[in-house]
Amino acid sequence: MWKQSLDAAGIRDPQLRRDYTAQRRLVARYRRSTYLAARLLLPPPVLPHVVAATAVMHHGDNLLDTGPKPQRIAAWASWEQQLRKALETGETDTPLIRTLLHTLTGHPRLRPALEEYLSTADTDLDFKGFTTESDYQAYLDAYSLPAFRLIAVLLEPETDADRYRALCRTFIDGSQRLDFVNDLAEDLREGHLGIPTETLDRFSVTMADLTAGVQSASVGALVTHEVEAARRDLESARELPTLVAPQHRALLAAVIDIELLTASAALTRGAALLHGSARPPLTSTLRALRDARRRARSQG
């Protein structure tokens, strides 16, 4: 099926086929359920390009998040320089960037999205948590939305681009907020949270409470508040698939469904998120993918 996707996308050069295949392996390990959704639901000609954009996003995320800050600053600066040089010259020796350059030839709208991402992504280098909800919203605009747009722009409709972008932001607000609450345990180990301090104060929860790992009623109420806020945005984003071409609708609908399943799992886990993230049952995820595929076939 993957080789058929490469053929359908017109990727004939043996080196490029190896490059795209290497990115597919990385993306499949990064978030398997989302990759599986893309593989099952995207038209074959689009799949390799979505994989390439996802790989760029994931690689940047790793550079920005991994290691001491001086190491992260140096790694990101080197990567940004490589990308900008490749965009200027059209040449590179890096497999990941080769796939990106090739994808850009068929999807020119990716270039301005990539430029926007590169102009603000280093915001994540200074991430130490948020004081207010406004700080969180600014982070969405500077980092989360531009990163998501690397993929979303490949499915962007010819019309209603402004509405599409607005709904992408609504979706990523829900998805990012859900990630932050679901990753409480991991973020606590790293010494920072994605839940604003003012929200902790509203529920009379302190960092010391969270670090202690006590599953109190206050922590449970905090988790419920954050997950429900995420769910509202994800539900509001259900219009997003209706804006894109019919062949792209099933994927976006499935991604939203999977995020909502994750939200339900996080809500069930509650304060126990202090000790590990929640995942939806595999059977539920597979059912969501099956239903999306059936809808796509009935509409296509």
In the block, tokens 């992504």 appear at 121
Compute the distance between CA of residue 107 and CA of residue 89 in angstroms, rounded to an integer. 18
Q: Which domains does the chain have, with CATH numbers?
A: 1-126 (1.10.600.10), 130-136+155-300 (1.10.600.10)
Query: pLDDT tens, 134-147?
Result: 999 999 999 999 99
Closest CA to 295 of 248, 235, 244: 248
Q: What is the rounded CA–CA span in Å between residue 104 and residue 43?
A: 18
**130: phi then psi, degrees, rounded to nearest 5:** -125, 140
Q: What is the mean pLDDT of residues 12-23?
A: 97
Average pLDDT over residues 257-274: 97
CA pseudo-torsion sign 119, 125, 129, 132: negative
How confident is the model over 206-224, as a mean pLDDT? Answer: 95
For residue 228, the model assigns a pLDDT of: 98
Is the per-residue pLDDT at 7 higher than 60?
yes
297 has pLDDT over 80: no
Max CA separation in the chain (angstroms) = 59
What distances in angstroms separate CA 296 from CA 32, 86, 168, 260, one per listed residue?
A: 21, 37, 21, 20
Return the residue matching tokens 């990106």. 100
What burial class does residue 36 get, using C-beta atoms within 10 Å of its C-beta: 0-12 exposed, 13-18 middle, 19+ buried?
A: middle
Residue 299: is its pLDDT beyond 70? no
Can you give the C-alpha Rg of the chain in angstroms? Answer: 20
Q: How many CB atoms lie within 10 A of CB 233?
A: 19
Could you tell me the two tokens for 205? 């929860």
Q: Taking a C-beta distance cutoff of 8 angstroms, is the pair 261, 285 a contact?
A: yes
Of 99-108, 121-130, 161-170, which range is least confident? Answer: 121-130
pLDDT at residue 47 greater than cutoff 60: yes
User: Residue 190 — pLDDT band, cuts 50, 70, 90?
Assistant: confident
Above 70 in pLDDT, residue 9? yes
The mean pLDDT of the chain is 94
- How far apart, in whole angstroms, are the C-alpha atoms of residue 254 and residue 297? 14
Over residues 217-225, the mean pLDDT reads 98
Please state the pTM of the whole predicted model.
Answer: 0.93
Question: Would the pLDDT of 300 be above 60?
Answer: no
Percent of the chain with pLDDT over 70: 99
d(CA 173, CA 189) in angstroms, rounded, equals 23
- For residue 50, pLDDT over 60 is answered with yes
Q: How confident is the model at residue 290 (pLDDT cuts 50, 70, 90)?
A: confident
Give Cβ neighbours of residue 167 (< 8 Å, ≥ 6 apart). Answer: 236, 237, 239, 240, 243
282 or 202: which carries more pLDDT confidence? 202
Reported confidence tier of residue 72, pLDDT bands at 50, 70, 90: very high
Place of tokens 């600066």: 77
Q: Is 259 helix (H, G, I), strand (E, B) or coil?
A: helix
Whether the pLDDT of residue 30 is over 90: the answer is no
Q: Is the pLDDT reported for residue 275 higher than 90?
A: yes
Residue 126 has pLDDT above 90, yes or no: no
